[in-house]
Amino acid sequence: MLDQALQYAHAHRDEFLQELVQFLQIPSISAQPDHQPDMQRAAAWLASHMQQIGLRNVQVFPTAGHPVIYGNWLEAPGQPTVLVYGHYDVQPPDPLDEWRSDPFQPEVRGDDLFGRGTADDKGQLFVHLKTVEAYLRTGGKLPANVKFIIEGEEEVGSLHLPAFMESHRDLLQADVAVISDSHMIAPNQPSIVYGLRGLVYMEVEVQGPAHDLHSGSYGGAIKNPIEALCEIIDALKDNQGHITIPGFYDKVRPLDPEERAELARVPFNETQFRAEAGIEKTWGEAGYTVKEQISARPTLEVNGIWGGYTGAGAKTVLPAHACAKISMRLVPDQTSDEITELFRQHIERLAPNTVRVAVRKLHSGEAAIVDRHIPEMQAAAIAYERTFGRRPVFTREGGSIPVVADFQRLLGIPTILMGFGLPDDNLHAPNEKFHLPNFYKGVDTAIWFLREL
């Protein structure tokens, strides 16, 4: 049964790739209202594809936002049930002019497939769909029960997923969840992520004068809202890289020496990190290694800023507004609600009294840590070893997959993060890619995993 599935998967790689390309051609950008029809199109395409490969009870559930797609195969009595999570929405592709090929006309260059959503997450979700197909098209059955829950709002904070999960607990009940939406350390070094950061994403708007003013006639006697915003942003970190929000670090679970030693054992090449980022020097919180800074410590980043005249040439304006998008990555045991409130209070305190400031939360999710010693983790470790010839290492990841905390909280199940991406996949950036050997090995790994459970 396993061998036939593996053979099928190996023989159908070209078809798998062609189908994935079709899926990727739909610009399902959840953040942009213009792409609402594309979101519907992607959901319909996916549901139809799930039915074609033999999943049962495929349903498109409307939500207050983008739909959730569900499907299952539950004919393995006495076997565990795996809940596979993925998302069919993608990040906006801008800046468009930095792409070497059209983000929505995927292109294979060398061993890589380039396009928005290749790694995050359409390609990685496809790994599990093709695993189901390989089993059902050969032996007609799966070695375990599976359920799929695929959402369309991961890139905008999974706004409606927790409510959906709460109202569909029975439908989703399972023994373990599996998510492929993260990356391995290197093509030859599989890794399993056991810790994820949470996220709070805020928007800060500073209002100065009631309308844009001539900087010659008014400049000099009015607080400039861009300058006020820069003042606020500059005050959010000290010169050691520590975040200055009072209370921000109070709930942070300290890294004990044992875990720091374990994280230090994870292969991490700082030279390669700098090369991937295109920087000469790293910069971060004093007292922590780069690996710790990007995975196990909380952070704050300004994701966007705008105000005044930003077109070609010169406009001598003293602007009315300035805005910034600012997000914080959280670690256990910080909670998004508390950090949101501390951030809001701090911004309001920092704002000079010559401007008005508005602080809005755009979305949030909680950090999570999964116990590395449960049997499902070991099944995954074996599956990786069979496929890659090497035991995976266990590591923490800097990104946020809030659904991991939700699965724990709402369904009471642990999550195995089987990431098949690579560190240089350019997630959320121009020239996103998926390493095709990892796509194919991912299918093999997932085929093994269902057997080893």
Residues in region 154-183 near its own copies by CB under 8 A: 155-157, 183
Strands 191-196 and 368-369: antiparallel
Residue 154 exposed, middle or buried by CB count within 10 Å (0-12, 13-18, 19+): buried
Query: Before 95, cis peptide (omega within 30)?
Result: yes
**String of DSSP letters for 327-367:** EEEE-TT--HHHHHHHHHHHHHHHS-TTSEEEEEEEEEE--
Nearer to its own copies, 256 or 280 (CB): 280
Are residues 431 and 114 in contact, defined by beta-carbon separation less than 8 angstroms? yes
> Whole-number minimum distance, CB 76 to its own copies, in Å?
35
Q: How far apart are the first and last CA of the chain?
A: 15
Nearer to its own copies, 81 or 431 (CB): 431
The only residue of 299, 334, 395, 438 in contact with its own copies, by rule CB under 8 A? 299
Measured CA to CA, the distance from residue 134 to residue 172 in angstroms comes to 23
96 binds its own copies (CB under 8 A): no
395 binds its own copies (CB under 8 A): no
Are residues 285 and 296 in contact, defined by beta-carbon separation less than 8 angstroms? no
Structure tokens at 24: 């990727």
Residue labelled with tokens 């199940």: 413
231 binds its own copies (CB under 8 A): yes
Count other C-beta atoms under 10 Å from residue 58's C-beta. 18
240 binds its own copies (CB under 8 A): no
User: Hey, which residues between 26 and 65 contact its own copies (CB under 8 A)?
Assistant: 30-33
205 binds its own copies (CB under 8 A): no
259 binds its own copies (CB under 8 A): no
17 binds its own copies (CB under 8 A): no
Nearer to its own copies, 222 or 382 (CB): 222
What are the helix (H) ranges across 115-224?
123-138, 161-167, 169-172, 215-218
User: Hey, which residues between 339 and 378 contact its own copies (CB under 8 A)?
Assistant: 352-354, 362-363
What stretches of 140-249 adopt beta strand conformation (E)?
Answer: 145-151, 176-179, 191-196, 198-207, 213-214
The only residue of 11, 96, 163, 277 in contact with its own copies, by rule CB under 8 A? 277
282 binds its own copies (CB under 8 A): yes
318 binds its own copies (CB under 8 A): yes
Nearer to its own copies, 71 or 319 (CB): 319
**Distance between alpha carbon 388 and the CA centroid of its chain, in Å?**
24
Nearer to its own copies, 376 or 432 (CB): 432
199 binds its own copies (CB under 8 A): yes
The only residue of 174, 410, 427, 450 in contact with its own copies, by rule CB under 8 A? 427
Instruction: Tell me the site size for its own copies, rule CB under 8 A.
Output: 99
User: Hey, which residues between 119 and 158 contact its own copies (CB under 8 A)?
Assistant: 155-157
Nearer to its own copies, 5 or 405 (CB): 405
3-state secondary structure 66-111: CCEEEEEECCCCCCCEEEEEEECCECCCCCHHHCCCCCCCCEEECC
The only residue of 310, 371, 373, 389 in contact with its own copies, by rule CB under 8 A? 310
Nearer to its own copies, 28 or 387 (CB): 28
The 60-89 site mask, x for binding its own copies (CB under 8 A), equals ------------------------------
CA distances from 221 to 209, 214, 217, 227, 323 (A): 11, 12, 10, 13, 21
